[in-house]
Copies of this chain bind each other. A is one copy, B any other.
Amino acid sequence: MNYFSKSKSELKEIEKQLLKEYNDYKDMGLALDLSRGKPNAEQLDLSLPMLDLLKNAENCKSEEGFDCRNYGICYGLPEAKRFFSSLTGIPCDNIIVSGNSSLNIMYDTLARAMLYGVVGSKRPWCREEKLKFLCPSPGYDRHFAVTESLGFELITVDMTKDGPDMDRVEALVKSDESIKGIWCVPKYSNPTGITYSDETVERLAKMETAAEDFRIFFDNAYAVHDFADEGDVLADIFECAKKYGHENRIFYFTSTSKITFPGAGISMFAASEENLEQIKPIIAVQTIGSDKLNQLRHVKFLQNKEAVYALMKEHGKIIASKFEILLGTLKNELEGLGIAEWTEPKGGYFTSLNVLDGCAKAVYDLCREAGVTLTKAGATFPYGKDPRDKNLRLAPTYASNDDLKLASKVLTCVVKLVCARKILAEN
């Protein structure tokens, strides 16, 4: 079955059949989309009861009796901190609860480091001659864009099934003082869907860094987002870092964007006490505080870890069916052909498809021409450039089941077509 075992004439015949199939899809005038890592409407409906929980002056009060409609409480409601603490295991004192965008908090955290430095900095980062940032790839394009925008040189580090290639990470950070940090999506990583192994988390916490102010940007966006019955378990990086005396190294982020509403959730930032002592007075200059009514709404609706897990089970059912369609099609159509590999995540929003070297952009282009939008080839690498042009991010959650079925078929047809052509061209 492997394309590489086939004769040239066999492959030519396959190519001909595939081209016919592809042209039939093209004639259908499709408009399908596998690019959007967004919850679908059915998922969003799960949180509708949250919207009218606040109705009168009395239930706009926090547990301490503070009127959340008014100014005040810059770092988040105590009950919102407790909620995120129950979800993450991080003590309330290390938590700040913010507005609807954890990406914004990450940007702010980096901008603050640029303008003021962090604990351990010799000077504000913007006064350094050279700044570099590690980008495990394939990874999240918006992360990379933040550091690129702020003037960092982006250094690609390969992702393995256990997380970033730690041999390389350790070697880089040990020798280069201008490397100030690393992006991590440690659980159900965007886009490969893998979860960092305990060893990876430990090595991140333990490693020696040339920069005294090195920071791990630990974006635990999918902390409770299992769709398999048994989800992955992520080690506690704060505990680990404490063990090695590196607790200042961790900047931790998560949000309810994919628990309640992506456009109207709440987010959380956690760091060591020493870090927060430096950061909090700056935040107090930056804002009078985030939207406390939305924090209150969330706490009343989500309640605690158990209730969140029950809600996530509902999300999981919906998402699992999407992944079954996509992964099932990949398996049926591509398994054993020797031209593609993909991950089978137990949670999160993405899977990552690797095709033959030099084929990803062609797959993206042909899919687009047939009306199927994928995340742009290259987007999962720094500067939008995949050095081997082989990775595609697939996001199955937003499309309807029918659309997803069809899009998956078009995608696998195109993968086969492009790869068959590549093999033919090289022989």
Contacts and interface: CB of A to CB of B under 8 A. Distances in A.
Contacts of A48: 55-57
Number of copies: 2
Interface string A50-70: 011011110010000001111
Given A55-B51, A111-B111, A285-B107, A294 B264 contact: yes
A39 to B, nearest CB: 7
A126 to B, nearest CB: 5
A68 B263 contact: yes
A45 B70 contact: no
Contacts of A127: 126
Contact of A286 (B70, B99, B104): B104
A101 interface: yes
Contacts of A233: none
B285 A146 contact: yes
B261 A149 contact: no
B68 A41 contact: no
Nearest to A36: B71
A282 interface: yes
Nearest to A297: B51
Of A70, A285, A292, A293, the most chain B CB neighbours within 10 A belong to A70
Given A71-B263, A261-B70, A263-B68, A291 B294 contact: yes
Interface of A is mostly: loop
Interface string A120-139: 00001011000000000000
B44 A70 contact: yes
Contacts of A99: 99-100, 290-291
Contacts of A293: 51, 261, 263-264
Pairs A-B, 4 closest by C-beta atoms: A52-B52, A264-B293, A104-B287, A69-B261
14 contacts: A36-B71, A47-B69, A51-B60, A51-B293, A73-B263, A99-B291, A103-B286, A107-B286, A142-B285, A142-B288, A146-B286, A149-B285, A263-B291, A291-B291
Given A51-B60, A69-B263, A264-B294, 17 more contacts: A38-B71, A41-B57, A51-B293, A69-B261, A71-B262, A72-B263, A99-B290, A99-B291, A101-B290, A108-B286, A111-B111, A115-B115, A149-B282, A261-B293, A263-B292, A264-B291, A264-B293
Interface of A: 36, 38-39, 41, 44-45, 47-48, 51-52, 54-57, 60, 67-73, 99-101, 103-104, 107-108, 111, 114-115, 124, 126-127, 142, 145-146, 149-150, 257, 261-264, 282, 285-294
